[in-house]
A and B are shown apart, each in its own frame.
Chain A
Amino acid sequence: MSARLSNLFAALVFLSMIAALGAVFLYVPTERTMGLVQRIFYFHVPAAISAFLAFFIVFVASIQYLRTQEMKWDRLALSAAELGVLFGLIVLITGPIWARPIWGVYWRWEPRLTSMLILFSMYVAYLMVRSYGTSSARTPRLASVLGILAFVNVPLVYYSVNLWAAEQQLHPQKIALEPPMKYTLYICYAAFLLFFLFLLQRRLELEKTADALTDLQQQLSDD
């Protein structure tokens, strides 16, 4: 991506985030039962969806890497996994902050919280395999297998509210949103999607530069 296009993209991300913050703090009415803290919802849920999207990209890119052995897929999987962990961490931090005044506790081992923590831990393990593994082809192969297996947890997290009994849940099984809340959530989804794509593009550029560096080092050591 050219520098001009990259700057334009950054400006678009910035404007979309301003629009999202404007909608959350100026447009949407305060929810009646939970009060102000419910506004965490508008960033908490898009962060979770962004993490799921990142993990889906890891899943597809890992399959493609195992099929083709092309490094571009490995780079994509690694970049998306890092972003998935970032957005997953946002979910795991904002969730308990929101939970404390509503449920009276920061954490409870209920299905969605537990499954999300397991999912997050698996992708942290993925990143650990990547950073502690050797530079041989074995590491990307092993990471790809982990990237595919870890994705099995994503539908489990998503459907956890329906898979376990209602009395074991703290998360609601169904959410009914008023139109301004829906529109605000859509604006936040769009802003998070743009930000996610922006970060992914930057992270991929970084991986390409790192690969060019490895090639040059190889060239120097061969001479």
Chain B
Amino acid sequence: MESTFSYLFAGYAAIWILFFAYLLRLRRREKDLRQELELLRDQVAKKQ
């Protein structure tokens, strides 16, 4: 039974790595888009 512990660990590690990688990717994309949006809003406001 002990020998399967490494597989259990690998399985749950893979799940959490994927979840956190996806959450980080979402957060980074969100941040980039918001920055770009602010920049463009400023440009539009200056033009008007």
Q: Beyond A90-B15, A206-B33, A220-B40, is A100–B26 a contact (Cβ under 8 Å)?
A: no
Chain B residues within 8 Å of A216, by CB: 37, 40-41, 44
Chain B residues within 8 Å of A199, by CB: 22-23, 26
Contact call B37/A101, Cβ cutoff below 8 A: no
Chain A residues within 8 Å of B33, by CB: 206, 209-210, 213
Chain A residues within 8 Å of B47, by CB: 220, 223
Cβ-defined partner of A209 (8 Å) among B3, B4, B15, B37:
B37
Contact call A206/B29, Cβ cutoff below 8 A: yes
Chain B residues within 8 Å of A90, by CB: 14-15, 18
Number of interface residues of B (CB under 8 A): 28
Chain B residues within 8 Å of A44, by CB: 11
Q: Does A182 contact B (CB under 8 A)?
A: no
A25 to chain B, nearest CB (A): 9
Q: Beyond A36-B4, A39-B8, A86-B22, is A220–B43 a contact (Cβ under 8 Å)?
A: yes
Contact call A35/B1, Cβ cutoff below 8 A: yes
Chain B residues within 8 Å of A89, by CB: 18
Q: How far is the CA of A98 from the CA of B15 in the complex (A)?
A: 13
Number of interface residues of A (CB under 8 A): 34
Chain B residues within 8 Å of A101, by CB: 3-4, 7
Q: Does A64 contact B (CB under 8 A)?
A: no
Chain A residues within 8 Å of B23, by CB: 199
Chain A residues within 8 Å of B41, by CB: 216
Contact call A37/B14, Cβ cutoff below 8 A: no
A13 to chain B, nearest CB (A): 11
Q: How far is the CA of A112 from the CA of B3 in the complex (A)?
A: 26
Q: Does A118 contact B (CB under 8 A)?
A: no
Q: Beyond A206-B30, A206-B33, A210-B33, is A93–B18 a contact (Cβ under 8 Å)?
A: yes
Contact call A94/B26, Cβ cutoff below 8 A: no
B26 to chain A, nearest CB (A): 6
Contact call A205/B5, Cβ cutoff below 8 A: no
Chain A residues within 8 Å of B40, by CB: 213, 216-217, 220
A40-B12, A93-B18 known, 7 other contacts, Cβ within 8 Å:
A40-B11, A89-B18, A90-B15, A93-B15, A97-B11, A209-B34, A216-B44
B residues at A contact (CB < 8 Å): 1-5, 7-8, 10-12, 14-15, 18-19, 22-23, 26, 29-30, 33-34, 36-37, 40-41, 43-44, 47
